[in-house]
Amino acid sequence: MKIIIHGGFFSESDQSHEVKTAKQNSLKEIAQKSFVYLQSHSAFDTAAYAVSLLEDDPLYNAGIGSQIQSDGIIRMSAAIMNGDTQRLSGVINIEEVKNPVFVAKGLIGEDDRVLGGLGAKQYATNHGFENFSTEIPQRRREYEAKLENGGKGTVGCVAIDKEGKLAVATSTGGKGFEIPGRISDSATVAGNYANNFCAVSCTGVGEDIVSNATAAKIVTRVTDGMSLEEAFEKTFEELKMIDGFAGAIAIDHNGNLFHKDSYPTMVFASFDGTSFEVFS
């Protein structure tokens, strides 16, 4: 059993040492809580749980603390994928729910498993998700300043459970000040993908991640026999060709963990029940 999570990127130029330390402590705590949860739950359930904790922390650009789009409205996207069943479900540009990842998870048993906009919100309302504003004052100030300090951030979790099953979940509050209706990578197989061999969650610039098909490429290459590290190296070399801004976390079916970013520093933490690795 292992878990790895990410919380987007950290910029030395626009975030303080205090924020960096807060993110390190937060990620370590969430990784540990999620590992404890994994003891009695599947990788699929744990991935959603971990991402919900990240959505609930205003340090990150997902759920509470999501970025505001150019028309002043927050729209969020999230997805989850069960590596064992190879089912992905997600929501795109959903408004006014606390935890988009739980709405995405709820869709896993539906025939129509990826919903957008008003349809996603209506589904959430019909299934008992209450209206909830995820806006915090800091994000409004950034919006009013045209996001001078806006980050390229998404949150995600990859987990492998005691049965060796893999799952991934990813959630984002967008890039900030984008054109309304813009779709990120998070609810696509480019940013969130898993099967029985590997699971990957990405963060960064969604357009770059989609153009490179990053998560799907890594998983496919591991499935075809590459090591996890080799799959990452080849995929990120291809990302360089478009000067892509991305980071990714992954676990393979042997329990190997790997992470990489094209423009440091992606914030992440992993825990295997004994030792932590936290970004520095």
Q: Which tokens belong to 246? A: 């991305």
* 204 carries a ligand binding annotation: yes
Residue of 271, 273, 275, 270 whose CA lies nearest to 6:
270
Contact of 132 with 11, CB cutoff 8 Å: no
In angstroms, the CA 243 to CA 227 distance is 24
Task: Please tell me the distance from the alpha carbon of residue 218 to that of residue 101, in angstroms, as a whole number.
Answer: 23
Q: Tell me whether residue 11 is annotated as binding.
A: no
The catalytic position among 46, 134, 154, 235 is 154
Question: Who's near 268: CB < 8 A, 6+ residues apart?
Answer: 4, 5, 6, 7, 27, 247, 249, 259, 277, 278, 279
Q: Is the separation of the CB atoms in 250 and 258 below 8 Å?
A: yes
Q: Check the annotation: does 206 bind a ligand.
A: yes
Question: Is 163 within 8 Å of 253 (Cβ atoms)?
Answer: no
Could you confirm whether 134 is annotated as catalytic?
no
Residue 185 among known ligand-binding residues: yes
- 182 annotated ligand binder: yes
Instruction: Select from 238, 274, 226, 265 the least CA-distant residue to 6.
Output: 265
Specify whether the CB–CB gap between 214 and 190 falls below 8 A.
yes
**Ligand-binding site membership of 90 (annotated):** no
* Positions marked active-site: 154
Residues that constitute the known binding site for substrate: 182-185, 203-206
